[in-house]
């Protein structure tokens, strides 16, 4: 007990998670995380129903009070309650009193977002160009060869000034680069096979049918909007609603990764700071890593490793530490582990692996982690000097806002008044690769037709000149002059080559006019 008291008794500004549990709460042994250590990242883990969401809410409230902006993915809708003061109640007040918590019902400054406007919140969109081939490959479930080919398509678009703003831009470009007219464009750098393009196009179509196309487009969200504070100095809590997560898990998790990667790209280096610019909670983190390519995992590892120098902290939230790759897990300084269950051989193996990652302590962690009650966790964090604190069995404090969803009508009213709705509320559909390529095909078809007509007229004129010669012999050759031979225009336009070109052009134009990627 004395080791825990000493280990968490630092003087720097800190966020209190709760108090030590030792046959009851020890109110004079607070368990805290230094605010400056939040940009050293962390992990919140535990089985379903063990209190992870409440822990997130407590951490977000404390960070907001400290003036630190927070981003949370609201998977179940419960975290929207942060916009509403808590209701109190006899049971809650008894717990807070026992834990020595000076509890006071209060609401927190919140901004609500919805991917592509699907849900209640300011719409979040990204352009396909900004999303990039690696993240998009994860969404589409592509293998490494297909991912490489998609990278080539992005390279072509960037090199030729073709803005890929939404999915129909990418679809049109893939069709063009695998057509007879477009194949030579990539010949010098490898090309894209028809089979690979077919897989990508089918997966794009599936994504569109699932409604994923609404997430791509303009106006593109600027992730720096997440770095705001309220007029009273508290950090704004940004809550992203993720409805129907099970239908598009890869898209949701990868979109969160795009937000983080974009912040890393845009923010200046600040080194170690006393107060992070943003703390980013990555809920259901296992969805991000499932089936990820080596390039994707490498990008995540690099982003997590380097983004702390930009003043951003990342906390992954999942069921067990094994859900997070070892290279990423090694970057996480704070650990909040709720109850783990070991009802199967695999679960028992995961429990032992989790225990092995903790510092030595006086606890039998393999037993303790199975005995934790709801709202209890095993905690170890980094102290202000960067050393791990003692492992502490902790009773987590209660949130001061509502533990449950805010009323939908109240949410809509708040979102309608948001200053961000004027900036991001209305989708914009400007000229991009889709329109540019259709014009290119149309212009090519017109040019070919005009060239063929001009050549036909020239040769027809030459034929008439020869027929009008002085010899009578030329006028009396053969009895079949009553049968008119086809003119050269008819000959050229009837040729196999011209018909093939015209069919290709017509096919692309018709597809754009009758439903595949036409702007709504």
* 33 touches 17 (CB < 8 A): yes
Q: What is the pLDDT of residues 88-102, one digit of tens each?
A: 889 999 999 999 999
pTM here? 0.80
**Angle made by CA atoms 59, 63, 69, in degrees to the nearest 5:** 120
120 and 132 part of one domain: no
Cα dihedral 434, 440, 443, 445, rounded to 10, equals: -90
| 263 & 350 share domain | yes
pLDDT at 45 (0 to 100): 93
Q: What is the pLDDT of residue 275?
A: 93
Do 23 and 139 reside in the same domain of the chain?
no
Please, which pLDDT band fits residue 501 given cuts at 50, 70 and 90?
A: very low
* CA–CA gap between residue 462 and residue 480 (Å, rounded): 21
Secondary structure of residue 240 in the 3-state scheme: strand
Cβ atoms of residues 71 and 241 within 8 Å = no
Range scoring the smallest mean pLDDT among 17-31, 208-222, 284-298: 284-298
| pLDDT at position 497 | 43
Counted domains in the chain? 2
SS3 at position 75: coil
**Which has more confidence, 497 or 159?**
159
pLDDT score recorded for residue 447: 67
Residues 182 and 230 in one domain: no
Identify whether 517 is part of a domain: no
Note whether 246 and 209 are same-domain residues.
no
User: Which pLDDT belongs to residue 486?
Assistant: 53
DSSP letters of 304-357?
HHHHGGGTEEEEEEES-GGGS-HHHHTT--EEEE------SHHHHHHHHHHHHT
Sequence-distant (≥ 6) Cβ neighbours of residue 330 within 8 angstroms: none
Kindly state whether residues 246 and 206 are assigned to the same domain: no
- Per the CB < 8 A criterion, the answer to whether 99 and 77 are in contact is no
Domain termination site, one of 157, 187, 215: 215
Q: Based on C-alpha coordinates, what's the Rg of the chain?
A: 32
Would you state the pLDDT for residue 35?
95
Residue 341 falls inside a structural domain: yes
The residue out of 374, 401, 425 marking a domain boundary is: 425
Q: What is the pLDDT of residue 478?
A: 47
Structure-model confidence comparison of residues 317 and 441, the more confident one? 317
What is the biggest distance separating any 2 CA atoms in the chain, rounded to whole angstroms?
A: 125
For residue 461, pLDDT over 50 is answered with yes
**Mean pLDDT comparison of 64-68, 355-359, 460-464, highest-scoring range:** 64-68
Domain co-membership, 366 together with 266: yes
Residue numbers of the domain that contains 311: 1-125+218-425
468 domain-assigned: no
Asked if 359 and 245 sit in the same domain, the reply is: yes
Sign of CA dihedral 388, 390, 396, 399: negative
8-22, 211-225, 248-262, 489-503: range with lowest mean pLDDT: 489-503
Tens of pLDDT along 115-130? 887 889 999 999 999 8
Residues 132-164 pLDDT 10s: 898 899 888 899 899 999 999 998 888 888 889
Domain end: 425, 442, 463, which one? 425
29 with 162, same domain?
no
Question: For the residues of 497-518, what is the DSSP string, one character each?
Answer: HHHHHHHHHHHHHHHHHTTSS-
User: What's the N-to-C CA distance of the chain in angstroms?
Assistant: 65
Strands 334-337, 237-241: pairing kind: unpaired
What average pLDDT does the segment 466-495 reach? Answer: 51
DSSP state of 359: P
Question: In this predicted model, which residue has the larger pLDDT, 473 or 1?
Answer: 1
Per-residue pLDDT reduced to its tens digit, 252-308: 778 888 888 888 888 999 988 899 999 999 888 888 788 777 777 888 888 888 899
210 in the same domain as 70: no
Asked if residue 174 is part of any domain, the answer here is yes
For the chain, give the percent of residues with pLDDT over 90: 44
CATH code of the domain containing 332 = 3.40.50.300
């Amino acid at each position: 007990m004395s080791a825990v008291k000493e280990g968490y008794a630092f003087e720097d500004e800190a966020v209190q998670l709760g108090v030590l549990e030792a046959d009851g709460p020890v109110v004079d042994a607070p368990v805290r995380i230094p605010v400056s250590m939040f940009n050293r990242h962390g992990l919140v883990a535990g089985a379903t129903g063990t209190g992870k969401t409440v822990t997130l809410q407590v951490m977000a409230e404390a960070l907001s009070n400290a003036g630190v902006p927070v981003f949370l993915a609201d998977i179940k809708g419960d975290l929207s309650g942060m916009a509403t003061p808590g209701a109190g109640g006899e049971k809650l007040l008894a717990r807070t009193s026992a834990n020595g918590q000076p509890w006071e019902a209060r609401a927190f400054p919140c901004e609500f977002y919805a991917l592509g406007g699907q849900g209640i919140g300011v719409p979040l969109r990204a352009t396909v160009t900004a999303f990039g081939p690696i993240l998009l490959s994860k969404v589409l479930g592509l293998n490494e060869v297909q991912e490489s080919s998609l990278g080539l398509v992005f390279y072509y678009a960037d090199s030729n000034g073709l803005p890929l703003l939404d999915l129909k831009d990418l679809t049109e470009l893939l069709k063009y680069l695998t057509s007879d007219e477009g194949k030579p464009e990539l010949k010098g750098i490898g090309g894209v096979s028809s089979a690979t393009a077919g897989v990508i196009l089918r997966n794009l179509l599936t994504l569109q049918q699932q409604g994923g196309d609404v997430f791509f487009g303009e106006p593109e969200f600027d992730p720096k909007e997440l770095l705001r504070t309220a007029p009273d100095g508290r950090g704004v809590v940004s809550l992203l609603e993720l409805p129907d997560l099970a239908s598009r898990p890869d898209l949701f998790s990868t979109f969160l990764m795009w937000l983080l990667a974009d912040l890393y790209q845009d923010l200046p280096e600040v080194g170690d700071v006393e107060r992070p610019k943003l703390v980013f909670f990555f809920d259901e983190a296992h969805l991000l890593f499932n089936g990820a390519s080596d390039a994707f995992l490498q990008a995540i590892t690099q982003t997590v490793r380097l983004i702390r120098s930009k003043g951003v902290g990342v906390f992954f939230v999942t069921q067990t530490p094994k859900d997070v790759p070892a290279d990423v897990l090694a970057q996480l300084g704070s650990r909040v582990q709720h109850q783990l269950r070991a009802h199967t051989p695999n679960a028992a193996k995961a429990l032992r692996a989790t225990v092995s990652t903790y510092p030595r302590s006086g606890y039998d962690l393999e037993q303790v982690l199975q005995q934790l009650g709801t709202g209890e966790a095993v905690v170890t964090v980094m102290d202000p000097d960067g050393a791990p604190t003692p492992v502490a069995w902790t009773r987590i404090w209660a949130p001061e806002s509502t533990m449950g969803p805010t009323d939908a009508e109240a949410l809509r009213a708040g979102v309608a008044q948001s200053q961000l709705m004027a900036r991001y509320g209305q989708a914009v559909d400007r000229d991009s690769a889709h329109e540019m390529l259709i014009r290119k095909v149309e212009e090519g078809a017109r040019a070919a037709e005009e060239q063929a007509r001009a050549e036909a007229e020239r040769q027809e004129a030459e034929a008439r000149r020869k027929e009008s010669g002085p010899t009578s012999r030329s006028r009396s050759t053969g009895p079949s002059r009553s049968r008119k031979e086809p003119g050269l225009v008819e000959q050229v336009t009837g040729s196999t080559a011209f018909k093939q070109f015209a069919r290709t052009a017509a096919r692309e134009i018709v597809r754009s006019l009758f439903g595949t990627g036409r702007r709504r």
